[in-house]
Structure 1
Amino acid sequence: MPTPRESILAALHARLAALPATALRGEVLPERVPAEGLLILRDGEPGEPEVTLSPVAYHYQHRAEIEAVVQGADRDAAFDALIASIGTTLTADRTLGGLCDWVEAEAPRPVDLPVEGAASLKAGVIPVVLHYTTADPLV
């Protein structure tokens, strides 16, 4: 049985996979970016939990990241549409089916990346804060 942390990350990846862009998890940037765009979910850091006693509970604000990448002549509009679709997906169910208490994305940090002999890439990292509670930091 997967841990709550893994269940939440898998559910977030599944939500991203439902978008038109290709969604990967923990992969390196491939040589080619699909026309619809590319999303790479990075597991991130759970950080230090707040602990409550009786019963013991660990409250995390886990910071994962979504790397969004588009390529092509109209990359600004494509990037904007991709970011908006991520926002719509996350706000539609902020508990990921009841697996976590709250999911909150932060504004992306976009950059333009030149590619030798091809259209430039527009990429951005979107921090996503996953609020959840577990009874044990390892389970």
Structure 2
Amino acid sequence: MVSKRLEVLAAVKALVQSALPHVKVIGLDGEDAAPMRVPPTGMVVVRSGDPGEPEVDLCPPVYHYTHRIPIEVSAYETTAESGEEIVDRMMGLIGGAVEANRTLGGLCDWLEPTGPNTDDIYTEAATPARGGDFDLVASYSTTSPLN
């Protein structure tokens, strides 16, 4: 049996992949490192984030989480678009996918993105890429903090 937390993370990764089918989407658990180089088509890293302390209803026990899931988007500039434009477009496509499926098919009560931050990503001996990050905040409930 997979926990609700892992189901939500898998659904978020699938949502991002469906929004950006030609982009490498990686799900990391916080202990692994993202690849050192961004693929030419761009990359999105979905980290496990922090479900935080739940609000608890006691009878029957129900645990309500507000899980912040970090999303990192990166891309190189092209001759047609700047890295900032590509990252902005990628984040917009993810935002559109979120708006179309706020409950992840009924898995959570609500999914909401936070505002993004962008910056250059410098890697030794490589062309700088542009990166952006934001959180997807998933609100969901479960009958056990371990399930």
Aligned to 1:7: 7
Q: 2:120 & 2:132 partners in 1: Cα distance?
A: 9
Aligned to 2:41: 36
Q: Check the 8 A contact 1:69/1:79 in 2, yes or no.
A: yes
Q: Check the 8 A contact 2:37/2:123 in 1, yes or no.
A: no
Aligned to 1:130: 138
Identical-residue share of aligned pairs (%)? 38
Q: How many residues align?
A: 139
SS in 2 for 1:100: coil
Displacement of 1:29 in angstroms is: 2.6
Q: Check the 8 A contact 2:67/2:139 in 1, yes or no.
A: yes
Q: Check the 8 A contact 2:114/2:134 in 1, yes or no.
A: yes
Displacement of 1:54 in angstroms is: 1.4
Matches within 5 A, 1:100-115: 100-115=108-123
- 2:89 maps to amino acid: A
Matches within 5 A, 1:1-139: 1-18=1-18, 19=20, 20-26=22-28, 27-73=32-78, 74-139=82-147
TM-score, normalised relative to structure 1: 0.92
Question: Structure 1 segments of 4 or more deviating over 4 A?
Answer: none
SS in 1 for 2:118: strand
Q: 2:124 & 2:77 partners in 1: Cα distance?
A: 13
Structure 1 gaps, min length 5: none
TM-score, normalised relative to structure 2: 0.88
Q: Check the 8 A contact 2:76/2:128 in 1, yes or no.
A: yes
Q: Check the 8 A contact 1:72/1:119 in 2, yes or no.
A: no
CA RMSD of aligned residues (A): 1.4
Q: 1:76 & 1:57 partners in 2: Cα distance?
A: 42
Whose strand fraction is larger, Structure 1's or Structure 2's?
1
SS in 2 for 1:119: coil
Structure 2 gaps, min length 5: none
